[in-house]
A and B are shown apart, each in its own frame.
Chain A
């Protein structure tokens, strides 16, 4: 009698283990199916949304007015337009438009130079999985009077970590 009871218990345990295994595998299959579908669903774009909000609330660069032109130099993006004080975004490679410094925050912004940090965005020609953003320290130098207004003429970029081309330090002519 004891043996038979033990055997029945063992059989019940086996059935329970089997059912548990099937449930786990089923749940795993459902999760995997869901995970596979996630690739084709729509996703949010929080940084773009933030840029859009900033534009709509006029948190944009301040153009240099005539009265302040003699005091602080601005930045003429790709050598054109009106110089902008403390720009949030600067085009680095004007020929291909493939490199942009963005999200810039300035620590110091003076008449001789300006220092700050941001990230260099690189056009993703290498594919969607390739890195496109590289944090860097930025330094504006070479203030000159251009078209009657003061503007910085060079931007030094020092990458904090990974670099897009292997060079940790690079100087761009911006005016």
Chain B
């Protein structure tokens, strides 16, 4: 239940409680007042009747002398010399006033006094209706008040989510007016987001600048190595230069993914064939070997960016080859591609929080700059796919790429296929990732 519902429920509950307590109190006080008034009326009648009786010896105002119906308790109390009033229960409830008039005689007046007075019943009904209306009214008012509070909090949360997703910050959404706690929260989140965005932007710019600046000298280094006379030295320098160039290219790709500058170019492709082709090309590169491809079920034709799928799979396969142990198994089922090795598995930190650049997280996974899986996750996001890391049954690392189903994407957001045969058997196009 949201904060709006909780506030409305709490206010309604407290109102209902107050209404019940107030209603019961009013009911009892009115009952007591009714008793008191009835006693006073009978006392007044008896006093007049007593005066007439003492003067003339006649009975007026319905007064009775030695009425046999006088309750025993009242008769006993009057016998002690003081006039009394009394409300009797039983089948014929009555209000009494009685007094002794000498010679052991008792003068009394009485009137029927039903427990449920029509006036009090009417009061009870009014209290119930008024209470119900009050609770309903307070619930509506509380809902509106809570909705205002909830809406401002949701706006702040949405703005914070947009900033977290890398979108530009919406200062208006966070900089809400007012001096209350919600406005203070909005301003604090805005300041935090501004600070974080500036820091992220600085890091992003630094990565892009470094990669860009390194690219040209590294290319020159590769070219210059070709001119070295000693074959072994050439080989060593070329190898190191190639590694450095790959690192620079990876950094540039990461910076482009961070900046959101990438977009998918979708084509209709048969997924099993695409995967087999990628695995075939990957074998022999970056130490990838002993890879088996298995297709479960009927092969699907999907609309995706084949180049980016290859980038993802090659990086996962390279990671498996470098940090895991063969055999590497690639399974294609529907729109899902799973890559499993038989090594020690991914470190827990990577499974929980995903890959982080320049972090290999576990010594047993060997050395590396940690950009391969970061790029794979970024490219999967561009495709609108989901890449998850976990442990395989029986041990080993398991990476699963779930390409989006066509129906996951709204019609208006679906990209137009380029050169795709969208006829029978072709999968519906999918959207590029965020």
Name A's B-contacting residues (CB within 8 A). Answer: 28, 32, 35-36, 38-40, 42-52, 55, 60-61, 77-78, 80-81, 84, 88-89, 91, 97-100, 102-103, 119, 121-125, 127-133
Task: Please pick, from A32, A89, A133, the residue contacting B51 in the complex, using a CB distance under 8 A.
Answer: A89
Name 5 interchain pairs, CB-CB below 8 A, sorted by A: A48-B97, A49-B99, A50-B47, A97-B62, A133-B41
B281 sits at the interface (CB 8 A): no
| Contacts known (A123-B45, A128-B94); A42 close to B55, Cβ less than 8 A | no
Task: Tell me, rounded to whole Å, the shortest Cβ–Cβ distance linking A43 to chain B.
Answer: 4
Task: Tell me, rounded to whole Å, the shortest Cβ–Cβ distance linking A30 to chain B.
Answer: 13
A129 and B38 contact, CB distance less than 8 A: yes
B86 and A42 contact, CB distance less than 8 A: yes
B44 and A133 contact, CB distance less than 8 A: yes
Q: Which of A28, A35, A45, A130 has the most CB of B within 10 A?
A: A45
Stretch at the interface among B107-115, B215-223, B225-233: B107-115
B48 and A100 contact, CB distance less than 8 A: yes
A28 surroundings in chain B (CB, below 8 A) = 21
B173 sits at the interface (CB 8 A): no
Docked CA distance A49–B61 (Å):
18
A36 surroundings in chain B (CB, below 8 A) = 28
Task: Tell me, rounded to whole Å, the shortest Cβ–Cβ distance linking A110 to chain B.
Answer: 23
Docked CA distance A44–B80 (Å):
13
B202 sits at the interface (CB 8 A): no
Docked CA distance A55–B101 (Å):
11
Q: Which of A42, A49, A130 has the most CB of B within 10 A?
A: A42
Stretch at the interface among B29-37, B152-160, B162-170, B335-343: B29-37
A78 surroundings in chain B (CB, below 8 A) = 58
Docked CA distance A133–B37 (Å):
11
Docked CA distance A141–B68 (Å):
41
B396 sits at the interface (CB 8 A): no
A98 surroundings in chain B (CB, below 8 A) = 60-62
B424 sits at the interface (CB 8 A): no
Interface size on B, residues (CB 8 A): 55
B60 and A91 contact, CB distance less than 8 A: yes
B:47-68 near A, CB below 8 Å: 47-52, 54-56, 58-62
B97 surroundings in chain A (CB, below 8 A) = 45, 48
B52 surroundings in chain A (CB, below 8 A) = 77, 89, 91, 100
A38 and B51 contact, CB distance less than 8 A: no
| Contacts known (A42-B73, A48-B97, A51-B47); A128 close to B113, Cβ less than 8 A | yes
Q: How many residue pairs bridge A and B at CB < 8 Å?
A: 154
Name B's A-contacting residues (CB within 8 A). Answer: 21, 24, 28, 31-32, 34-35, 37-52, 54-56, 58-62, 73-74, 77, 82-89, 94-95, 97-99, 109-114, 117, 119
B47 and A48 contact, CB distance less than 8 A: yes
Docked CA distance A124–B39 (Å):
12
B73 and A127 contact, CB distance less than 8 A: no
Task: Please pick, from A44, A47, A130, the residue contacting B84 in the complex, using a CB distance under 8 A.
Answer: A44
| Contacts known (A32-B24, A124-B111); A48 close to B50, Cβ less than 8 A | yes
A127 surroundings in chain B (CB, below 8 A) = 111-114
Shortest 4 CB-CB contacts between residues of A and residues of B: A128-B113, A128-B95, A97-B60, A102-B48
A77 and B55 contact, CB distance less than 8 A: yes
Chain A residue at minimal CB-CB distance from B96: A128
Task: Tell me, rounded to whole Å, the shortest Cβ–Cβ distance linking A91 to chain B.
Answer: 6
Q: What 11 new A-B contacts, CB under 8 Å, besides A45-B39, A48-B46, A55-B54?
A: A45-B42, A46-B43, A51-B51, A80-B56, A89-B48, A98-B62, A100-B48, A123-B45, A127-B113, A128-B110, A133-B41
B113 surroundings in chain A (CB, below 8 A) = 127-129
B73 and A131 contact, CB distance less than 8 A: no
A91 surroundings in chain B (CB, below 8 A) = 52, 58, 60
| Contacts known (A42-B86, A52-B50); A100 close to B38, Cβ less than 8 A | no
A89 surroundings in chain B (CB, below 8 A) = 48, 51-52, 55
Docked CA distance A47–B42 (Å):
10
A61 surroundings in chain B (CB, below 8 A) = 55
Chain A residue at minimal CB-CB distance from B61: A123
Chain A residue at minimal CB-CB distance from B59: A97
B77 surroundings in chain A (CB, below 8 A) = 42
A88 and B45 contact, CB distance less than 8 A: no
B87 and A39 contact, CB distance less than 8 A: yes
B35 and A39 contact, CB distance less than 8 A: yes
Docked CA distance A41–B247 (Å):
98
